[in-house]
A = this chain, B = another copy of it.
């Protein structure tokens, strides 16, 4: 997910309605996971794996640091095969699927896993996914969305990937109740947790009303945004982590090198662009971040742990 989208989404959708079904759990998620209620639990999650070679290399390097411990894969993208090979070779890695219904870089495009004739509502006039999540959501036939996201899960499984969770590239699957319902339906069938945070409920009332007490949803997500100046990158994350509240937080980051490939892909979009991703890479593989985790008694957990709650 590119957080621009999450922000746009958060600003424009509904008001808080906490549904009884989702609120029925009395124990906190931390407690359900076996931690004290006041534990500060963090998933450090890299999005967009498989998109480009640069994203793949940077994310694998970050995984090797031990400080980035989760990520999600874009099955329709050109470099999927590379990250699928990594996933097969590293079955312990906490890798989910970044279900993809958009193709946002103007010079570098991709389209569906499903045969195009069968998912024409997902395609722009050039036969690629739409550039934006709003266009994708506005045009998408929900049955075709279901077909495509199932195809992405099945293709990942066919490649030997056992995903630990599902999320949605650019937040397309949170753009409406109908899209979220089909997302949750597929996730439940595969017994996989989806990226949903309690802090999102106030922005989209269909979230709590669609979730059930048996679903797993985290307490909050944390992501940086274009208002932060490049020189304040480390400061933003450091302050946010120093103020981290108890419970389960997912920090959503975007890793790549600031290299020719990423500059080419993101040339007209500096937000979530090449330099942005290199800054994320540098902070989240730094000794300063490692020390911060120690100082603030933040424990890293994974979606795999959360998923086990669904399999009980």
**A residues at B contact (CB < 8 Å):** 52-54, 56-57, 78-82, 85, 106-110, 113-118, 126-127, 155, 158-159, 257, 259-261, 264-265
Contact = CB atoms under 8 A, between A and B. Distances in A.
B264 A82 contact: yes
A16 to B, nearest CB: 41
Contacts of A80: 109
A160 to B, nearest CB: 12
Contacts of A108: 53, 78-79, 81-82
Given A57-B260, A78-B78, A81-B107, 15 more contacts: A53-B107, A53-B264, A56-B264, A78-B108, A78-B109, A78-B110, A79-B107, A81-B106, A113-B127, A115-B117, A116-B116, A117-B117, A117-B118, A126-B158, A259-B259
A49 to B, nearest CB: 13
Nearest to A260: B259
Contact of A53 (B85, B117, B261): B261
A78 B127 CA distance: 12
A89 B261 CA distance: 21
